[in-house]
Amino acid sequence: MTQDIPRIRLILIGDEILSGRRQDKHMAHLIQLLGERGLQLSGVEIVSDAQEDIVAVLSRSFATRDIVFCCGGIGATPDDRTRQAAAEALGVKLVLHPEAERLITERCADMAREGRGTADMSHPENQQRLEMGKFPVGSDIVPNPYNKIPGFFIRDHTFMPGFPVMAWPMMEWTLDKRYSSLHHRVDRVEHSFVVFEMPESRITPALEELERRWPGVRAFSLPSLGQGRPRIDLGVKGEPEAAAMALSFLRSEVLRLGGELNP
């Protein structure tokens, strides 16, 4: 990102991801949503359900100016500790957000009309549901079009459930409602080509020289091993004009050093 656009990161919370019981689907979808808006993902972190682990990660994260999407652990069962950890990391209390209370009450009424439960908010099950509306002091809600039970937003951190059917619309809403001014602020392109008969060690000095000449451009090298003829996907990404010049330089260096561009 450029200096005036914060980094965008994703935090995934849940033992089920670390154990392999669930496979993450959020990263690929967030990358797609960001790309459609001229933005890019800067980092991903996976955290266990242990509250002390979540507190440590969020304490570091809140100290940055990054835009962060955090998925998982905002329910009301014992393994859902994200809301509590966020409050602890911020040094504030958890309180029932009035708008969250209203929406959860609406949800309970909707379920009662469908013959599932009661609309009586004094009922123990509904009291338990209200726990999901307790957020750190200072939070705003994030609408959940799937079942109305909201997530929350505080200090450029958006907290959502782990379920894609809920989290993905909440990601999109946040990007479009809170960060529309960042959309397509920077034109970025990515170019690549395939090189044969060249070890990475030979082209590495040229990649380093490229980044010295064009500081806003990043070079990448992705070798393919054990799949027939050895090859490297070489490329650049960055601002269009600089990236085009860097790409031309890289291609000429490959040819100068004896690489082959055709099978």
261 assigned to some structural domain:
no
pTM, to two decimals: 0.85
Residue 3 pLDDT > 60, yes or no? no
Question: DSSP per residue over 165-221, as a string?
Answer: HHHHHHHHHHHHHHSGGGTTSS--EEEEEEEES--HHHHHHHHHHHHHHSTT-EEEE
Picking from 4-8, 101-105, 118-122, 186-190, which range would have the lowest pLDDT averaged per residue? Answer: 186-190
Residue 1 pLDDT > 90, yes or no? no
Report pLDDT for 158.
98
Q: Quick count: other Cβ atoms within 10 Å of Cβ 3?
A: 5
* Domain containing residue 223: CATH number: 3.30.70.1130
Report pLDDT for 226.
67
The residue out of 182, 212, 242 marking a domain boundary is: 182
Same domain, 142 and 209: no
The residue out of 182, 212, 237 marking a domain boundary is: 182
Q: Quick count: other Cβ atoms within 10 Å of Cβ 167?
A: 27
Element (H, E) at 31: helix 26-36
b (16+ CB within 10 A) / e for 46-62:
ebbbeeeebbebbeebb
Taking alpha carbons only, the member of 57, 3, 14 closest to residue 160 is 14
206 assigned to some structural domain:
yes
Q: Which residues pair with 195 in a beta bridge?
A: 232
- Work out the end-to-end distance of the chain between its first and last CA atoms, rounded to an integer number of angstroms: 35
* Domain containing residue 61: CATH number: 3.40.980.10
Taking alpha carbons only, the member of 196, 245, 187, 243 closest to residue 220 is 243
Same domain, 140 and 25: yes
Q: For 24-76, how does the pLDDT look when each residue is reduced to its tens digit (9 = 90+)?
A: 999 999 999 999 999 999 999 999 999 999 999 999 999 999 999 999 999 99
Report pLDDT for 132.
96
As for how many domains the chain has, the answer is 2
Same domain, 57 and 151: yes
Output DSSP code: residue 36: H
The residue out of 166, 182, 198 marking a domain boundary is: 182
3 assigned to some structural domain:
no
Q: For 204-256, how does the pLDDT look when each residue is reduced to its tens digit (9 = 90+)?
A: 999 999 999 999 899 999 998 766 788 999 999 998 999 999 999 999 999 99
Taking alpha carbons only, the member of 261, 245, 240 closest to residue 209 is 245
Pinpoint the alpha helices (H) of 37-135. 51-62, 82-90, 98-113, 124-130
Cα angle 101-102-103, degrees, rounded to a multiple of 5 = 95
Same domain, 102 and 228: no
CA distance 12 to 57: 11
Q: For 91-126, how does the pLDDT look when each residue is reduced to its tens digit (9 = 90+)?
A: 999 999 999 999 999 999 999 999 999 999 999 999
Report pLDDT for 134.
98
- In the predicted model, what is the mean pLDDT of residues 190-194? 94
Same domain, 227 and 104: no
CA distance 119 to 93: 28
204 assigned to some structural domain:
yes
Residue 263: which pLDDT band, with cuts at 50, 70 and 90?
A: low
Cα atoms found within 13 Å of the Cα of residue 140, Cβ hemisphere only: 12
